[in-house]
C-alpha cells in the first residue's frame, strides 16, 4: 500500500488549520458565523496555497449537522462522509476533464435536483479556467440564477483566463503564496505529527526553495524523510536541495572582483564537472551579490548573516564599484534556466561579460573599454529579427509599479510585456495567440484614453491579432493585468520590418562588393540585394 | 537490481521508497536525455510488482514482462506514432484514467509511465491533475521528461520530483573505460561530448557513425569560417530546409556550434585544458588567436538567440541566414 | 494441440467469451482469445483486464496445447462455417482449422504472454439462484452513474450477509436497492463494489440455468468470480466463469438516504403509471425532462388520482390522469421523467406505491407484493 503522501494526509480539516491565508479564512469564518453564505465563490491563487482544501472545508461547514455555523465539527455523519469523499451532495468537478459545453449543460440540469441528504448541494469546480468559452458561458447562466440549495466554489490558478462576467458573479478570494514563516509553521506541524526531526534552519531552506507552495514543501519534506530517515541534518537538506557550499560561490565572487578571467572560468567548469546544480549555484551567487549590494549601499544592518560572513561580504564589496556589482547582479540575475540543459555556458557568458564588456555596437554595452578589434562597418545595424522587448528590461526587482503618465505606464507595460504575452499561452484557435504577439510585435505607444498601440513587423500577424475575437481576448487580458491600457490598436511598421528582414542581406551585398547608391523605401529594395 | 548507472541519489531514493513502503503516488523523473530516466521508471514498475526479496529481481515472470512491455498492470504512455499526433492526447489520458480506477489485474500496483510527459497537450495535462493529486490506492504514476519547463507548474507540484542530472564528466569517462573497455582517448572525448549523458556516450561508443557525423559537421563549420557570403547563405538555406524535415538534426548542429565557440572562449581565456573537442585542439588554438573575447561572447549570444528563435517558430531561414552572416 | 468439437458449440462459446475481448487496448494480446486444452475439455478465455470470461466445454482431445489467436477473426470465421465437426490443430505459431471442405490457418501469439486470468482462490464463497441474481442485476444496474467523475458510483454495492444479498446503485439522483435471498447462508459478511458493466455482462449469461451461481472473492478483494456450471451451448452444457475487477473506494452510506416516513402514499397500476409517464415525457424533452406529479386524495366513493403532466414553452403541454389509492394528504412533486420510466420498466408486479413528503424531499417507489425492491428518486426544483 502506498502510504498517503503528506499533502493529502495532513490536508487541513478546519479553516483555522489553513496556513497563511488568514485574510481568506477570517472572512469566510465570519460569513459562516453570521449565516451570510454566497452562492458562488471564486478561489484564485498559485498552486499549493490551499484553494481546494478551503473549498472542501467550506462545503463541510455549510452542511455540518452539529455546528451549522462557523467551523465544521468534523465528527458528525455529514462531515465524516465528506472527509471520506463519499458524500453524494458535495460534487467535485474537474473542469479540465469536463470542459465542454455538454458537460456544463449537464451540470446545469443536475443542479436542479434537490440534495440527497445535505442542506446544500456544493459544487467544487477545480481548474475552472480550463472550461471552453461556450462552457464558461453556460456556467455563467447557472451562476446567474442558482437554485437556493446550490453553492458553487470555483478554484483556479489562472483567474485571468476567466470571463469577466463570471468573475463578477462570484465572491472572489485571492490566495497568496505562503510566506516562508507560514510554510515553516506547517512543516513543523507535520514534523511533530510524523515524529520527524529537522533543524529549523533546514525547514527554512525548504521554505525558501518552494516559492510559496505548501504542497511542494510537503513533498520535499517527505523526500528527505524517505532518503535520510526520520532524523535529518542540515547538510542533508542542503544536499537534497542541491544548495551549494558557500565557499565555492565566494570563490567565484572573488574572481569577479579580481577580474580573473581564467580562474573564474575554470572554477565554473569545475563546479559543472563535479555535477553541481548550476541553477542553484547561480541562485546562491545572485543572493551573495545582492548582499554585497546591500553592504555597499550602506544597508548592511539588513543583512541576515553571521558576523564572519558579513565581514567577508563587506570585504568583497569593497573591491568592486557599486556599478560593477549592479552589473553583475543584472547579468547573473537574467540567466534563464528554463531550458534546463545543465550547460555551464550561461554562467560562463555572464561571468565573461561581467569582466569584459561587450564591444561597441552591441546592444548592452555600458562602459566600452575598447580592445583591439577587427574592422567592422560601424554603420551596419545589428540584424536581429524579432527582437524581444525583454532586452531593454531593467531587473524586475528594481521596477516601480507604474501609475501616472502615459509614458511611465507604457514603460511599465513594456517591462511586463513578456509576462503578459505568457498569460496568453494556449489561447487562440490553435493555442498559439501568444506566438503572434511574442515574435512579431512590441508595444509602441500608449494613448491617453488607454489604447495601447502595438507595432507589427508582418502583416500576417497583424491581421491575425486584429481579428475581433482575438483582439477582445487580448483587451480583456490587458484590463485584467494592467487595468489601463485596455484597448488595442495594431499598426504595421514596414521600415522596421525591412531593416530587420533585409539588413543581413544588405550587409551581404555590401561585403560582396555592392554599394548603396540610393535608399528606396518601396518593395523594390528586396530585389536589389540578391545579386 | 537497479539497472541505472550513476544517479545514486535517484536510485537510492527509489530503493528506500520500495523497501520502506513509503512512496509517493506520483513521480516526476526529470533530466536531460540519456540519463537513465526511462530505465529507472521501468525498474520502479518492476520493483513495485516484483515478488522476490531483492526488488526488482529482473528475473521473475513479472519483471520480465514489465521489461518487455507485456505486463497488464504497467502501461507506458507515449506519442501515438500511428496517429502522427504531436501530443499525448486527452483520449489517451482518459483511457488511462478509466484503467486506473480499477485495482491491479495481477500485480500489486498499477503503474503508468508517461514517456515524454512534456508532450502532454495542455488539455491532457489539465485532465491529469486530479488523478495526479488523488489517484486510487495501488496506482503509481511516473512522468518522465527532458523538458520540464514545458510542463504545467501545477502538474510538477503534484509529483515527487526526482532530478536525474548529467553525470560528472569524470564519472562517465571512468564508466566508459572500465565497464565498456573504451580506449583512453575515446573515453576522454566521448565523456566530454556527452556532457554527462551516459546513455549517449555509450551509444556513440558502440555506433561510430555518431562520431563520423560529428566530424563532417565540424568540417562544415571549419569551411564556413572562411567561406564567402554566398556560400554561407546557401549553407543557411540548406540548414533551413533540413530544419523543415528534422528539427533535431539542426538542433544538434547548433549545439555543436555552441560547443565549438564555447571551446574557443575557453582557449582564449586561458582554459585550454577544459575544452570538449579534444581532437581539434590545434584548430581551436589557431582560430582563437584571431578572435577577441567580446567577439566570442557575441557569437555565443547570437547562437543562443538563434536557438531561442527557432524554438519560437520564427522563420528558420531568416534566423539561420542572420546567424551565418553574423558569425565572425 | 489437437482437438475436435462441434461448430455450433465452438461458435456459441466464442460468442460468450467474445464479450470480454478488449476493443481499445494498450496490450495487443488482449485482442486475442486464448484456446487451450484442460482436463479433456476445450477452454476459451478472453480478458479486457476489467472483465475476464472463460468457458469450458467437452471436446475430443487428442493432444494437449494452447495458443492465442485474434478473437474477431476466429469468431467471424467459425460462424461462417457449416455446422458439424471442426478439427483444430496447433502448428508452430498458428492454429489450423478444418471443417467440412474448408481449411484455414490463423497465426497467433504465444499463450505464455496472455495475461493470466486472475485466480480467486480459496477466498470467501457464496451461492445464489440464477433467477434471483438476474432480477437483482436488472433492477439495480441501470441506476449506476455513467460518467466516472466518481468511479465508485459506476459500480453496484453488493453486501452479502446472512441469507441476503443487498445490491444498491446510486448516481446522485436516484438510488435502487434490491434484496435477494442467497441459496445458502453466507458464512462471513462481504461488502464489495462491482462495476456496473460487469454485472450487465453477467446478466446476459444468466438465462435458463438451474444450478446456483457460485460467487467468490479474492482475499485482497480485488476480484470477484461468478461461476455458472450449466450454460447451454449447442447440445451440451458448459462451465462459464466471469471474473471482474472490483472497484476500490467507499460507497456512499445509502441507508441514510432512505426516507423514514411519508405524508402521502399512492398505490397505482404499474403499467398505467408507466404509460402516462411515457406520454408526459414526450412533452418534457426540452424542459430538462421535468414531469410533474400531483397526487389527489379521493372523496367518498371517488378514488384518488395521480395527475402526470409536462409542459414545454415551445411544444405545448400534456396532462394525464391515473387512478390511485391515496393515503394521507394531497401532494405534488416533480421528477425527471426518464428516472420514473426507468424504474417502472423493471418492476414486474402489477401495482406500485409512490411515497412522498414534500416537493423537495426524495420520493420512494416500490412494488406492492414484494419486499425486495425499493427505488428512491430525487425531486427536481421547479416553480409550480
Interface pTM (ipTM) of the complex?
0.85
What's residue A523's pLDDT?
43
Q: Decide: C45 and C57 in contact? Cβ < 8 Å.
A: no
Asked if B58 is an interface residue toward chain A (Cβ–Cβ < 8 A), one would say no
Instruction: For CATH 1.10.8.60, list the domain ranges present in chain A.
Output: 180-241
What's residue C228's pLDDT?
95
Is residue A377 very low, low, confident or very high in pLDDT (cuts 50, 70, 90)?
Answer: very low
Contact B106 C116 (CB under 8 A): yes
Is residue A392 very low, low, confident or very high in pLDDT (cuts 50, 70, 90)?
Answer: very low
Q: What is the CATH number of domain B8-163?
A: 3.40.50.300
C23 and C101 within one domain? yes
- How large is the C-alpha radius of gyration of chain A? 28
Q: Decide: B166 and B196 in contact? Cβ < 8 Å.
A: yes
Q: Decide: C182 and C165 in contact? Cβ < 8 Å.
A: yes
Of C236, C254, C272, which residue is a domain's last? C254
Rounded to 5°, the CA angle A464-A470-A474 comes to 120
Q: What is the pLDDT of residues A191-231, one digit of tens each?
A: 999 999 999 999 999 998 888 899 999 999 998 998 888 99
Contact A439 B309 (CB under 8 A): yes
Alpha-helical (H) ranges within B50-158 are 61-67, 90-100, 122-133, 153-156
Q: Give domain A180-241's CATH number out of 3.40.220.10, 1.20.1730.10, 1.10.8.60, 3.40.50.300.
A: 1.10.8.60
Instruction: For CATH 3.30.300.180, list the domain ranges present in chain A.
Output: 402-492
Asked if B82 is an interface residue toward chain C (Cβ–Cβ < 8 A), one would say no
Q: In a 3-state reduction of DSSP, which class is residue A487? A: strand
Q: Give domain A246-355's CATH number out of 2.10.60.10, 1.20.272.10, 3.40.50.720, 1.10.287.1080.
A: 1.20.272.10
Nearest-10 crossing angle of helices B247-268, B209-226:
70
What's residue A208's pLDDT?
86
C152 and C109 within one domain? no
Q: What is the pLDDT of residues C314-332, one digit of tens each?
A: 778 899 999 999 999 999 9
Task: Report pTM.
Answer: 0.79
The predicted model gives B150-168 an average pLDDT of 90
Round to whole Å and give the CA distance between C114 and C46.
9
Nearest to A88 among C170, C250, C336 (CB): C170
What's residue A380's pLDDT?
41
Contact B105 C195 (CB under 8 A): no
Q: In a 3-state reduction of DSSP, which class is residue C332? A: strand
Residue C176, pLDDT above cutoff 90: yes
Residue B324, pLDDT above cutoff 60: yes
Of C88, C113, C138, which residue is a domain's last? C113
The domain A402-492 having CATH identifier 3.30.300.180: the answer here is yes
Residue B28, pLDDT above cutoff 80: yes
Is residue B41 very low, low, confident or very high in pLDDT (cuts 50, 70, 90)?
Answer: very high
DSSP C22-52: -SS-SSGGGGEEEEEEETTEEEEEEE-SSEE
Residue A333, pLDDT above cutoff 50: yes
Q: In a 3-state reduction of DSSP, which class is residue A190? A: helix
The predicted model gives B64-88 an average pLDDT of 86
C266 and C250 within one domain? no
Mean pLDDT for all residues in chain C: 92
For chain A, count helices (H), then strands (E). Answer: 24, 8
For residue C208, the domain's CATH number is: 3.10.150.10
Mean pLDDT for all residues in chain A: 80
- How large is the C-alpha radius of gyration of chain B? 23
Residue C18, pLDDT above cutoff 60: yes
Which sequence spans correspond to the domains of chain B?
8-163, 168-207, 208-326
Asked if C130 is an interface residue toward chain B (Cβ–Cβ < 8 A), one would say no
Rounded to 5°, the CA angle A335-A341-A345 comes to 55
Round to whole Å and give the CA distance between A244 and A274.
12
Q: Of A201, A193, A90, which Cα lies nearest the Cα of A151?
A: A90
Of the ranges A269-283, A501-515, C205-219, which one carries the lowest mean pLDDT score? A501-515
What's residue B4's pLDDT?
92
What's residue A519's pLDDT?
53
Q: B-contacting residues of A 38-77, CB under 8 Å?
A: 46-48
Q: Which of B69, B103, B111, B130 should be substituted to probe chain C, the one whose Cβ sees the most C Cβ atoms within 10 Å?
A: B103
| Beta bridge partners of residue A153, listed in sequence order | A41, A124
Which chain A residue is nearest to residue B328, measuring alpha carbons?
A374
What's residue A437's pLDDT?
75
Q: What is the CATH number of domain A6-174?
A: 3.40.50.300
Contact A97 B23 (CB under 8 A): no
Contact A113 C253 (CB under 8 A): no
CA A445, distance to chain mean position in Å, is 26
Q: In a 3-state reduction of DSSP, which class is residue C300? A: coil
Residue A383, pLDDT above cutoff 50: no
- How large is the C-alpha radius of gyration of chain C? 25
Higher pLDDT, A367 or A339: A339
Q: What is the pLDDT of residues B218-239, one digit of tens each?
A: 999 999 888 888 899 999 999 9
Contact B129 A47 (CB under 8 A): no
The predicted model gives A87-101 an average pLDDT of 87
Around Cβ A182, how many Cβ atoms within 10 Å? 20
Q: Decide: B324 and B233 in contact? Cβ < 8 Å.
A: yes
- Chain B hits for C47, CB-CB cut-off 8 Å, are 105
What's residue A388's pLDDT?
43
Q: What is the pLDDT of residues B261-290, one digit of tens each?
A: 999 999 999 999 999 999 999 999 999 998
The domain B208-326 having CATH identifier 3.10.450: the answer here is no
What's residue A400's pLDDT?
39
Residue A65, pLDDT above cutoff 90: no
Shortest Cα–Cα distance, C255 to chain B (Å): 25
The beta-strand segments (E) located in A15-83 are 40-44
What's residue A454's pLDDT?
83
Shortest Cα–Cα distance, C359 to chain A (Å): 9
Of C213, C233, C254, which residue is a domain's last? C254
Alpha-helical (H) ranges within C157-248 are 196-205
Residue A138, pLDDT above cutoff 70: yes
What's residue A372's pLDDT?
37
CA A333, distance to chain mean position in Å, is 15
C233 and C323 within one domain? no
Alpha-helical (H) ranges within A64-199 are 77-83, 101-111, 133-144, 164-169, 180-194
Identify the domain containing residue C325 by its residue range.
259-377
Asked if C50 is an interface residue toward chain B (Cβ–Cβ < 8 A), one would say yes
What's residue A413's pLDDT?
78
Q: What is the pLDDT of residues C113-171, one digit of tens each?
A: 899 888 887 678 999 999 999 999 999 999 999 876 788 999 999 999 999 999 999 99
Shortest Cα–Cα distance, A1 to chain C (Å): 12
User: Which residues, at least 6 apart from C112, have a Cβ–Cβ distance to it below 8 Å?
Assistant: none
C270 and C250 within one domain? no
Contact C24 B95 (CB under 8 A): yes
**CA separation (Å) from A130 to A154, B13, B97, B104?**
11, 35, 18, 31
Nearest-10 crossing angle of helices A406-415, A468-482:
100
What's residue A404's pLDDT?
56
C227 and C281 within one domain? no
Q: What is the total count of domains within chain C?
A: 3
C141 and C73 within one domain? no
Q: What is the pLDDT of residues B176-197, one digit of tens each?
A: 999 999 999 999 999 999 988 9
Amino acid at each position: 500500500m502506498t502510504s498517503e503522501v503528506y499533502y493529502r494526509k495532513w490536508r487541513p480539516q478546519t479553516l483555522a488549520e489553513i496556513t497563511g491565508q488568514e485574510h481568506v479564512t477570517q472572512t469566510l469564518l465570519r460569513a459562516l458565523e453570521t449565516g451570510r453564505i454566497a452562492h458562488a465563490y471564486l478561489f484564485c491563487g498559485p498552486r499549493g496555497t490551499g484553494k481546494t482544501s478551503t473549498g472542501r472545508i467550506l462545503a463541510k461547514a455549510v452542511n455540518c449537522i452539529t455546528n451549522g455555523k462557523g467551523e465544521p465539527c468534523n465528527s458528525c455523519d455529514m462531515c465524516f462522509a465528506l472527509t471520506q469523499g463519499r458524500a453524494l451532495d458535495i460534487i467535485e468537478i474537474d473542469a479540465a476533464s469536463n470542459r465542454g459545453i455538454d458537460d456544463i449543460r449537464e451540470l446545469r440540469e443536475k443542479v436542479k435536483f434537490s440534495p440527497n441528504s445535505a442542506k446544500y448541494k456544493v459544487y467544487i469546480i477545480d481548474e475552472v479556467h480550463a472550461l471552453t468559452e461556450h462552457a464558461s458561458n453556460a456556467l455563467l447562466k447557472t451562476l446567474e440564477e442558482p437554485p437556493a440549495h446550490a453553492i458553487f466554489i470555483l478554484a483556479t490558478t489562472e483567474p485571468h483566463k476567466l470571463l469577466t462576467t463570471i468573475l463578477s458573479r462570484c465572491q472572489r478570494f485571492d490566495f497568496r503564496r505562503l510566506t516562508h514563516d507560514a510554510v515553516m509553521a506547517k512543516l513543523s506541524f507535520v514534523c511533530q505529527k510524523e515524529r520527524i526531526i529537522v533543524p529549523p534552519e533546514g525547514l527554512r531552506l525548504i521554505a525558501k526553495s518552494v516559492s510559496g507552495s505548501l504542497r511542494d514543501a510537503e513533498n520535499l519534506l517527505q523526500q528527505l524523510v524517505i532518503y535520510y530517515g526520520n532524523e535529518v541534518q542540515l547538510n542533508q537538506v542542503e544536499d537534497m536541495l542541491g544548495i551549494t557550499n558557500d565557499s565555492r560561490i565566494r570563490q567565484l565572487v572573488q574572481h569577479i572582483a579580481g577580474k580573473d578571467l581564467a580562474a573564474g572560468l575554470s572554477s565554473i567548469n569545475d563546479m559543472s564537472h563535479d555535477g553541481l546544480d548550476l541553477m542553484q549555484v547561480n541562485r546562491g551567487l545572485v543572493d551573495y551579490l545582492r548582499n554585497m549590494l546591500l553592504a555597499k549601499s550602506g544597508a548592511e544592518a539588513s543583512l541576515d548573516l553571521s558576523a564572519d560572513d558579513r565581514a567577508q561580504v563587506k570585504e568583497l564589496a569593497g573591491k568592486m564599484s557599486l556599478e560593477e556589482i549592479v552589473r553583475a547582479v543584472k547579468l547573473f540575475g537574467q540567466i534563464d534556466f528554463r531550458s534546463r540543459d545543465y550547460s555551464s555556458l550561461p554562467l560562463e557568458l555572464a561571468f565573461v561579460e561581467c569582466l569584459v564588456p561587450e564591444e561597441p555596437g552591441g546592444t548592452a554595452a555600458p562602459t566600452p573599454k575598447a580592445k583591439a578589434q577587427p574592422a567592422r562597418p560601424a554603420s551596419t545595424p545589428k540584424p536581429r529579427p524579432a527582437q524581444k522587448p525583454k532586452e531593454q528590461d531593467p531587473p524586475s526587482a528594481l521596477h516601480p509599479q507604474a501609475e501616472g503618465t502615459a509614458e511611465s505606464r507604457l514603460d511599465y507595460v513594456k517591462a511586463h510585456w513578456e509576462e503578459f504575452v505568457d498569460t496568453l499561452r494556449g489561447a487562440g484557435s490553435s493555442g498559439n495567440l501568444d506566438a503572434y504577439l511574442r515574435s512579431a510585435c512590441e508595444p509602441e505607444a500608449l494613448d491617453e484614453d488607454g489604447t495601447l498601440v502595438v507595432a507589427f513587423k508582418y502583416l500576417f500577424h497583424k491581421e491575425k491579432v486584429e481579428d475581433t475575437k482575438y483582439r477582445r481576448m487580448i483587451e480583456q487580458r490587458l484590463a485584467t493585468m494592467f487595468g489601463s491600457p485596455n484597448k488595442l490598436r495594431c499598426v504595421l511598421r514596414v521600415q522596421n520590418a525591412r531593416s530587420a528582414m533585409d539588413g543581413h542581406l544588405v550587409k551581404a551585398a555590401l561585403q560582396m562588393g555592392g554599394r548603396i547608391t540610393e535608399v528606396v523605401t518601396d518593395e523594390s529594395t528586396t530585389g536589389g540585394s540578391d545579386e | 537490481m537497479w539497472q541505472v548507472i550513476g544517479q545514486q541519489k535517484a536510485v537510492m531514493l527509489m530503493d528506500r521508497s520500495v523497501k520502506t513502503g513509503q512512496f509517493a503516488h506520483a513521480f516526476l523523473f526529470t533530466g536531460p536525455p540519456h540519463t537513465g530516466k526511462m530505465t529507472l521508471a521501468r525498474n520502479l514498475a518492476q520493483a513495485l510488482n516484483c515478488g522476490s526479496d531483492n526488488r526488482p529481481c529482473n528475473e521473475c515472470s513479472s519483471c520480465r514482462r514489465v521489461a518487455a512491455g507485456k505486463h497488464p498492470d504497467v502501461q507506458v504512455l507515449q506519442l501515438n506514432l500511428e496517429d502522427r499526433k504531436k501530443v499525448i492526447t486527452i483520449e489517451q489520458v482518459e483511457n488511462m484514467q478509466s484503467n486506473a480506477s480499477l485495482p491491479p489485474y495481477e500485480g500489486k500496483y498499477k503503474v503508468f509511465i508517461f514517456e515524454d510527459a512534456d508532450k502532454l497537450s495542455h488539455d491532457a495535462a489539465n485532465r491529469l491533475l486530479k488523478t495526479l493529486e488523488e489517484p486510487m490506492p495501488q496506482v503509481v504514476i511516473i512522468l518522465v521528461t527532458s523538458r520540464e519547463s514545458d510542463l504545467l507548474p501545477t502538474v510538477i507540484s503534484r509529483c515527487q520530483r526526482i532530478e536525474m542530472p548529467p553525470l560528472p564528466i569524470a564519472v562517465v569517462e571512468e564508466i566508459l573505460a572500465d565497464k565498456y573497455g573504451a580506449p583512453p582517448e575515446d573515453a576522454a572525448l566521448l565523456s566530454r561530448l556527452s556532457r554527462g549523458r551516459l546513455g549517449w556516450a555509450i551509444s556513440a561508443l558502440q555506433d561510430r557513425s555518431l562520431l563520423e557525423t560529428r566530424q563532417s559537421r565540424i568540417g562544415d563549420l571549419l569551411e564556413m569560417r572562411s567561406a564567402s557570403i554566398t556560400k554561407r547563405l546557401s549553407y543557411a538555406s540548406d540548414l533551413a530546409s533540413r530544419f523543415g524535415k528534422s528539427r533535431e538534426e539542426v538542433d544538434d548542429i547548433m549545439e555543436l556550434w555552441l560547443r565549438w565557440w564555447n571551446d574557443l572562449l575557453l582557449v582564449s581565456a586561458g582554459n585550454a585544458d577544459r575544452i570538449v573537442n579534444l581532437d581539434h585542439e590545434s584548430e581551436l588554438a589557431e582560430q582563437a588567436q584571431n578572435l577577441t573575447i567580446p567577439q566570442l561572447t557575441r557569437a555565443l549570444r547570437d547562437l543562443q538567440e538563434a536557438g531561442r528563435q527557432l524554438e519560437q517558430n520564427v522563420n528558420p531561414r531568416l534566423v539561420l541566414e542572420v546567424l551565418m552572416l553574423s558569425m565572425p | 494441440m489437437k482437438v475436435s468439437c462441434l461448430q455450433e458449440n465452438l461458435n456459441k462459446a466464442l460468442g460468450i467469451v467474445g464479450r470480454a475481448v478488449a476493443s481499445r487496448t494498450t496490450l495487443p494480446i488482449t485482442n486475442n482469445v486464448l484456446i487451450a486444452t484442460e482436463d479433456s475439455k476445450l477452454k476459451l478465455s478472453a480478458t479486457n483486464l476489467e472483465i475476464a470470461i472463460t468457458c469450458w466445454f467437452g471436446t475430443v482431445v487428442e493432444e494437449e496445447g494452447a495458443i492465442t489467436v485474434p478473437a474477431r477473426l476466429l469468431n467471424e470465421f467459425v460462424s461462417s462455417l457449416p455446422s458439424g465437426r471442426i478439427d483444430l490443430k496447433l502448428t508452430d505459431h498458428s492454429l489450423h482449422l478444418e471443417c467440412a471442405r474448408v481449411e484455414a490457418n490463423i497465426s497467433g501469439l504465444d499463450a505464455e504472454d496472455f495475461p493470466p486470468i486472475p485466480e480467486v482462490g480459496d477466498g470467501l464463497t457464496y451461492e445464489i439462484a440464477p433467477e434471483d441474481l438476474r432480477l437483482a442485476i436488472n433492477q439495480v444496474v441501470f441506476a449506476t452513474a455513467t460518467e466516472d467523475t466518481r468511479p465508485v458510483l459506476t459500480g453496484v454495492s453488493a453486501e452479502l450477509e446472512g441469507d441476503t444479498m443487498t445490491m444498491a446503485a446510486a448516481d446522485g439522483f436516484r438510488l435502487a436497492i434490491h434484496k435477494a435471498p442467497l441459496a445458502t447462508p453466507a458464512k462471513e459478511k462481504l461488502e464489495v463494489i462491482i462495476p456496473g458493466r460487469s454485472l450487465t455482462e453477467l446478466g446476459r449469461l444468466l438465462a435458463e440455468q438451474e444450478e446456483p451461481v457460485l460467487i467468490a472473492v479474492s482475499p485482497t478483494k480485488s476480484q470477484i468470480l461468478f461461476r455458472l456450471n450449466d450454460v447451454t451451448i449447442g447440445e451440451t452444457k458448459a462451465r462459464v466463469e466471469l471474473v471482474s475487477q472490483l472497484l476500490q473506494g467507499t460507497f456512499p452510506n445509502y441507508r441514510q438516504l432512505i426516507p423514514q416516513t411519508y405524508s402521502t402514499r399512492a398505490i397505482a397500476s404499474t403499467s398505467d403509471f408507466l404509460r402516462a409517464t411515457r406520454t408526459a415525457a414526450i412533452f418534457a424533452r426540452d424542459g430538462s425532462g421535468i414531469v410533474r406529479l400531483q397526487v389527489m386524495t379521493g372523496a367518498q366513493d371517488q378514488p384518488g388520482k395521480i395527475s402526470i403532466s409536462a409542459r414545454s414553452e415551445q411544444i405545448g403541454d400534456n396532462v394525464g390522469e391515473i387512478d390511485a389509492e391515496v393515503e394521507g394528504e394531497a401532494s405534488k412533486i416533480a421528477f425527471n421523467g426518464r428516472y420514473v420510466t426507468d424504474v417502472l420498466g423493471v418492476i414486474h408486479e402489477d401495482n406500485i406505491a409512490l411515497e412522498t413528503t414534500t416537493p423537495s424531499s426524495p420520493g420512494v417507489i416500490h412494488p406492492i407484493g414484494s419486499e425486495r425492491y425499493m427505488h428512491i428518486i430525487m425531486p427536481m426544483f421547479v416553480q409550480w
